Each structure stands twice: as structure tokens, then as C-alpha cells.
Amino acid sequence: RVLTVLVLATLVLAGCQGDPSLNVLDPSGTAGQKQLDLIKWSFFLMCGVFAVVITIFIYVLIRFRKRKGKDVMPEQTHGSVTLEIIWTVVPIILLAVLAVPTVTYTFDLAEVPQEDDAIKVKVIGHQYWWEFQYEGLNIKTAQELHIPVGKKVHLEIHGEDVLHAFWVPALGGKIDVIPGRVNTMWLDAQKPGVYQGKCAELCGAGHALMDFKVFADDQAKFDKWVAQMQKPAVAQTASQKEGEKIFMQNCLGCHAGTNPRIQGPDLSKFGNRETIAGILKHDDQNLRKWLKNPQSVKPGALMPKIDYLEPKEMDALVDYLMSRK
Ligand code: CUA
């Protein structure tokens, strides 16, 4: 039995290891650090309350236990104004102690950064992907948010269809995505790296796979990315031009933002991505897998099957998409 408990405990603790970019307890951003401060604050306060309650409980158990030879009903007490005042006032003080920093942090994180060079990004949650539009930079991406290290990034969170929640565990967040409402927050990354992002609100069949990544790079690398994203991609080879034609006929309806009812991600710079659908490695083979059967990759995705193309047409389409850098 001891062995079973040990094995179970090991398994549970092994789950805590996981991906360091998903660790709330080791934040790499200011917002995450503030949130960790709140977690610690409320946790230690709770520990204090727990210790006091358990101490009184154990004291009462021992002090007023049934003793040998004393078989009479103990004296009964009814009502105590002092006690009632204590157990009303103490929790009020404790709640206030918790509420003040919580409310302060909440307003602080919703503030628009005043720095002139603060980056502003409109985040839109869709079933089951994330869209990022950079204000003033004319950049639209999906599943991948690039930010410079050490700079505040202001996020305007919009919802397109159902409730989602934006969350980058190591940087901060978990802010609701609500259709018809705009929520705001800011993030920064203090260390370069790739941080895993998650949808944190059950939103349908593809919820568990509604992932994205935050790439925090130094300013020079970020500027290079911006320049690359702003450069128009032009089909060069015959195969890419053929692929462009196939794309226009089959994909543009949803992927150009012209159809307000069905919106797929903007693919004009698809070749720069590091993932496909936010979860697969960005390579030809995975792109084919995604195109031929999106449901096998991300159940519930609105992307239709593109399984009717001739092999040569599929080659051209893949070639074209991958060339869009
Ligand atoms: Cu979107 Cu869960």
C-alpha cells in the first residue's frame, strides 16, 4: 500500500515538472511576478488562518474531552457578543488585506502603458485560434505573438464567437475573452525565450489544442521580424504561381478577411511561422497533414478538408504557402 502511495505521489509530482515555459511559479514577466506575489500573499494568509483554526480545534478536542469518572453533561453556554464580534471583524480585516493588493494589481495591469514606443496588439480569440494585430505596424499574425524583451506590450482582448481566456502562464494573464467586450492588460517578458500560451476557458471541441506561443526576442531580432513581416511576399517560381492560383480559388474566401461570417487566419506571411495550427512543427509534411484532414489535428476546427486536389496541385499549394515569407 505504501508503495502504491509513493508511486502515485511520484506521478503527481512528475506532472508538476513539465514545460518550464508553462510554470506560473517561475514567472519571466512583470505581470506574472505580480500575480505570483498575490498567490503567495493569499496562500500564506490562508496558512495562517488554517493554523489558528486547527490549533483551537485540537485544543478544544483535548481540553473538553470526556474524562474517566466524570459522566455528567458539561455546562452549556448560549451566545457570546465578544466571540461574535471577533469572528465577524477578523474575517473582514483578512478580506480587506487580500482585496487591497488584488484590486491595485488589477487596475495596474489594465492600464495603458504611457511609453511612446509601447507595442499595442489587438488579440482576437476565435474557435480555436488566436489572431494578433499590431497597431500601427500593419502586421497580422496568428498563433504566434512576437514581442521585444523588456518592453510593455499592451493587449486589447476581443472575442469573435464564444468565451475564451488568454493565458501565458510564465508571463501572466488569464484574462477573459468576451464577445462584445474589450478587456485590456499589458505583458512584458524579462528574459528572451518562447513562452507557451493557452486558452483557459472551455470553448468547445478544440479547446485543449487552442495554443499559441509568445516569442520574446531582443529588440534587434524583433525589429528584423517586423521588417520581414512588412515585406510583401511575391510568388516567384512557376510552382508557387500555380499554388497561388489554387489558393485564390480554394482558400481566399475564408483566409482574406472578406467573408465576415467565416474567418480563417491571415496567411500572407505563413512561411514565417514556426507552427502549423499553433501545435504542429512548421514543415511541408505537417502542412499536408493539416490541409488533408484538419479534424485529425485539431478536432472542431472550422478549416475544411482540402483532400480533393491532384497531388501536383497539392505540391504547388504547399510550395506557395511555405514561400510566403
Ligand atoms: Cu478557446 Cu478554450
Q: Are 184 and 155 in contact (CB under 8 A)?
A: yes
Pick the CATH number of 238-323 from 1.10.3720.10, 3.90.120.10, 3.40.190.10, 2.60.40.420: 2.60.40.420
The pLDDT assigned to 173 comes to 77
CA of 325 to the centre of ligand 1 (A): 28
Output 289 or 112, whichever has higher pLDDT. 289
The pLDDT assigned to 81 comes to 93
Relative to the CA of 162, which ligand 1 atom is closest? Answer: 1
Q: Measure Cα distances from 224 to 69, 209, 227, 270, 321 in Å.
A: 86, 29, 5, 16, 21
**pLDDT above 60: residue 16:** no
Q: How far is CA 293 from the centre of its chain?
A: 26
Output 74 or 241, whichever has higher pLDDT. 241
**pLDDT above 80: residue 260:** no
**pLDDT above 70: residue 257:** no
Burial 263-275 (b: 16+ CB within 10 A, else e): bbbbbbbbebbeb
| Same fold across 19-60+80-231 and 238-323 | yes
For the chain, the structural domain boundaries read 19-60+80-231, 238-323
Q: Are 121 and 296 in contact (CB under 8 A)?
A: no
Q: Measure Cα distances from 311 to 58, 176, 315, 316, 318 in Å.
A: 75, 43, 6, 9, 11
Number of H helices, E strands in the chain: 9, 12
Condensed to tens digits (0 to 9), the pLDDT of residues 305-319 reads 998 989 999 999 999
Locate cell 506574472: which residue?
Answer: 32
Q: Determine the Cα–Cα distance for residues 257 and 138; give it in Å rounded to an integer.
A: 14
Relative to the CA of 127, which ligand 1 atom is closest? Answer: 1
* Residue ranges in the chain assigned as alpha helix (H): 2-17, 30-63, 81-110, 219-230, 238-250, 252-255, 284-292, 294-297, 311-323
Termini Cα distance of the chain: 58
| CATH code for the part of the protein at 19-60+80-231 | 2.60.40.420
- The lowest-confidence range among 175-184, 222-231, 261-270 is 261-270
Spatial CA neighbour of 27 closest among 151, 166, 189, 218 = 189
Condensed to tens digits (0 to 9), the pLDDT of residues 143-162 reads 999 999 999 999 999 998 89
**pLDDT above 90: residue 182:** yes
CA atoms within 13 A of residue 74's CA, in its CB half-sphere: 7
Residue nearest to atom 1 of ligand 1 (CA): 164
Condensed to tens digits (0 to 9), the pLDDT of residues 91-107 reads 999 999 999 999 999 88
The pLDDT assigned to 56 comes to 94
Relative to the CA of 128, which ligand 1 atom is closest? Answer: 1
Pocket of ligand 1 (CB under 6 A): 125, 128, 164, 199, 201-203, 207, 210
| Burial class for 85, CB neighbours closer than 10 Å (0-12, 13-18, 19+) | exposed
Locate cell 506557395: which residue?
Answer: 320
Output 302 or 123, whichever has higher pLDDT. 123
Query: Which SS3 state, helix, strand or coil, does residue 212 take?
Result: strand
Query: How many CB atoms are located within 10 Å of the residue 197 CB?
Result: 25
Q: Are 129 and 142 in contact (CB under 8 A)?
A: yes
What is the average per-residue pLDDT within 19-24? 75
**pLDDT above 90: residue 74:** no
Greatest extent of the chain over all pairs of C-alpha atoms, in Å: 102
| Burial class for 188, CB neighbours closer than 10 Å (0-12, 13-18, 19+) | buried
Instruction: Tell me the pLDDT band of 26, cut-offs 50, 70 and 90.
Output: confident
CA of 66 to the centre of ligand 1 (A): 56
Instruction: Tell me the pLDDT band of 8, cut-offs 50, 70 and 90.
Output: confident
Percentage of residues in the chain having pLDDT higher than 70: 95
Q: Determine the Cα–Cα distance for residues 172 and 174; give it in Å rounded to an integer.
A: 7
Relative to the CA of 207, which ligand 1 atom is closest? Answer: 2
Condensed to tens digits (0 to 9), the pLDDT of residues 39-57 reads 999 999 999 999 999 999 9
